[in-house]
């Protein structure tokens, strides 16, 4: 363990072996840091408002702030959590807030995620494994970003919106409705345009699997069909597999509405 002498560390903090803590880091309250994690200079971890649980082999860059209170008017002096997985990188100046009581009490970021500079992850957000939030991405409270989604720079996700797995949001888009899995979306208000072919190939899906998902997304993109009609047609035309099952479940369970042309 390597802790710079200028760091200020709470007596309630737990720091595992192999962790490096840089100059002027401030750790407040109950914070747990897993082994082999690097905390660069001027990072602020924890607060009196809740608990921060950080996994193993993470890299938190200068100026990041993790574990501040939820930014909501109804917040009282609750005690909630922020959970960070393993092998995740948090960029300079990024902010990740604790959960809120009425939102479940936990903000969570998964394994092997990359939260780039000045991104914001608000209270009760759920960010999956392998997600990339590019510079200045802003997630409002209760957003859900499923695994391996990539969010372009300066994107804004409004409250309660879901972004599906292996989807891609182009730079500068704003999502106020759910973005289906496996799609590429753009526009001021994000609209899915096509299959994320590159993302699915990188994910290791077979050619047959990619064609099957492509068929489903083409059905979804037909403006003449309602969502129930889309689901019914997908069930007829596409082979049942994990991706098709997830897509159908995503479309059928949307509460914010699904973004379409």
How many Cβ atoms from other residues are within 10 Å of residue 3's Cβ?
15
**Is the pLDDT confidence value at 77 over 80?**
no
pLDDT at 169: 98
Task: Please count the structural domains in the chain.
Answer: 2
Q: Which residue has the higher pLDDT, 93 or 103?
A: 93
- Domain encompassing residue 128: 2-142
Q: 34-55 pLDDT, tens per residue?
A: 999 999 999 999 999 999 999 9
pLDDT at 178: 98
Q: 192-227 pLDDT, tens per residue?
A: 999 999 999 999 999 999 999 999 999 999 999 999
Question: Are 132 and 209 part of one and the same domain?
Answer: no
pTM, rounded to two decimals: 0.96
Question: Are 136 and 204 part of one and the same domain?
Answer: no
Question: Are 131 and 14 part of one and the same domain?
Answer: yes
């Amino acid at each position: 363990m390597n802790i710079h002498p200028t760091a200020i560390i709470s007596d309630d903090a737990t720091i595992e072996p192999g962790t490096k803590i840089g100059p002027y880091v401030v750790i407040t309250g109950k914070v747990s840091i897993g082994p082999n994690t690097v905390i660069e200079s001027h990072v602020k971890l924890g607060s009196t408002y809740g608990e921060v649980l950080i996994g193993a082999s993470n890299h938190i860059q200068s100026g990041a702030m993790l574990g501040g209170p939820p930014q909501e008017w109804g917040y009282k002096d609750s005690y909630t959590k922020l959970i960070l997985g393993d092998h995740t990188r948090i960029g300079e100046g990024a902010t990740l807030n604790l959960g809120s009581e009425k939102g479940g009490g936990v903000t969570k970021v998964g394994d092997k995620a990359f939260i780039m500079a000045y991104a914001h992850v608000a209270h009760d957000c759920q960010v999956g494994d392998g997600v990339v939030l590019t510079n200045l991405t802003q997630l409002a409270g209760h957003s859900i970003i499923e695994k391996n989604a990539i969010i372009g720079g300066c994107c804004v996700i409004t409250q309660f919106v879901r972004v599906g797995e292996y989807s891609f949001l182009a730079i500068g888009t704003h999502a106020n409705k759910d973005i289906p899995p496996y799609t590429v979306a753009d526009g001021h208000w994000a609209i899915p345009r096509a299959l994320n072919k590159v993302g699915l190939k990188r994910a290791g899906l077979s050619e047959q699997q990619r064609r099957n998902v492509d068929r489903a997304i083409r059905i979804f993109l037909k403006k003449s069909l309602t969502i129930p009609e889309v689901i019914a047609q997908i069930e007829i035309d596409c082979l049942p597999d994990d991706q098709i099952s997830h897509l159908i479940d995503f479309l059928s369970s949307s509460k914010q509405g699904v973004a379409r042309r």
